[in-house]
């Protein structure tokens, strides 16, 4: 995935899917690295790491919604109440 894929992420409602955004960010930073001061790159990389760690917290319980295995927090696969 490279920065050209950003348009695809935007047009497919990918901004509402943080895991897609997080796949794109490291590649963009890598593309920008030659033009960044080492200190700026280090700060950007630390910010990226922090965002990734927060995504881990966000993801808990989301798999059930994203992959259709039930309601969040129900603990039962396939439980949708339908």
What is the per-residue pLDDT for 82? 39
Question: Could you tell me the sign of the dihedral formed by the alpha carbons of 78, 16, 10, 40, in that order?
Answer: negative
What is the per-residue pLDDT for 35? 96
* Residue 79: φ, ψ to 5°: -80, 110
Question: Could you tell me the sign of the dihedral formed by the alpha carbons of 57, 66, 68, 65, in that order?
Answer: positive
7: which 2 tokens?
């348009």
Find where tokens 């927090």 sit: 73
| pTM summary value | 0.55
Low-confidence ranges of the chain (pLDDT < 50): 74-82
CB 17 within 8 A of CB 23: no
What is the per-residue pLDDT for 75? 47
What is the per-residue pLDDT for 24? 78
């Amino acid at each position: 995935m490279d920065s050209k894929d950003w348009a695809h992420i935007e047009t497919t409602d990918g901004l509402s899917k943080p895991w897609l955004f997080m796949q794109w960010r490291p590649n963009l930073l890598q593309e920008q690295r030659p033009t960044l001061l080492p200190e700026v790159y280090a700060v950007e990389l630390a910010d990226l790491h922090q965002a990734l760690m927060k995504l881990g917290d966000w993801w808990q319980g989301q798999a059930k919604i994203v992959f259709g295995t039930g309601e969040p927090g129900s603990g039962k696969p396939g439980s949708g109440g339908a």
